[in-house]
Amino acid sequence: MAEASSAGLAIAAALLFLSPAHAEQAASGQESPPPEPSGFWTGPLRSAVPATIAGGTRIDATELVSLLKQDSAVVLDTSEAPRRPPQLAPGSLWLPPPHPGIPGSIWLPGMGLAEMPGQLEARYRERLVDLTKGDKGRAVVVYCHASCWLSWNAAKRIIGYGYRKVYWFAAGVEGWTAAAQTTVPLEPPPEH
């Protein structure tokens, strides 16, 4: 009994010094998040993500709702585009499934790849300039899915372009719907 009590006190003391995200994970028995890599993440895309993004701000659904109400933020969904199933016969009709996103967001599949083809990166960088009207102080929110590195990589890339108000919504579209927020179907850019 004394051991259980000591363990409980140790956990409670540790929770006092953790960020809210870390405390929630520790209390639920989840692994602690990995540290930020120095470059882009090249490992499995669907895995635990860091608690932070250097040069940017990680936000939750409540903060995102507030930001969207008071700011003209550019919101980017960096989820992958669905691929045509390989088992379909050539020439057969295939319609990609609807892609739910946060209302007002722009879907830029591929922006979160660790290694993006130069043409695609140039196109997306240009698109970002258009969306922000060249204002590197304008808020840019980046998301994809929960436990997905695509949005982290994209946020890191945008910070590297010199944008100063980059917000990473790491909970992704799943976190948005879990917060009782609605989604809308998004269309990928025409080149996809």
CATH of the domain at 170: 3.40.250.10
Q: Residues 58, 110: one domain?
A: yes
**What are the backbone angles phi and psi of residue 114, rounded to the nearest 5°?**
-65, -45
DSSP state of 75: E
Q: Residues 1, 55: one domain?
A: no
DSSP state of 107: E
Domain span at 26? 1-32
Angle of CA points 22, 26, 28, to nearest 5°: 120
- Strand partners for 166: 140
For residue 100, the SS3 value is strand
Provide the pLDDT for residue 108. 93
Provide the pLDDT for residue 30. 59
Q: Which residues of the chain carry a pLDDT beneath 50?
A: 1-29
Provide the pLDDT for residue 154. 96
Structure tokens at 12: 């409670």
Provide the pLDDT for residue 55. 96
pTM of the model: 0.79
Provide the pLDDT for residue 74. 95
Q: Residues 48, 68: one domain?
A: yes
Q: Residues 71, 150: one domain?
A: yes
Q: Residues 4, 75: one domain?
A: no
CA–CA dist 108, 120 (Å, integer): 10
92 within a domain of the structure (yes/no): no
Provide the pLDDT for residue 21. 43
Give the chain's domain count.
2
Q: Residues 166, 130: one domain?
A: yes
For the beta carbon of residue 30, count every other beta carbon within 10 angstroms. Answer: 11
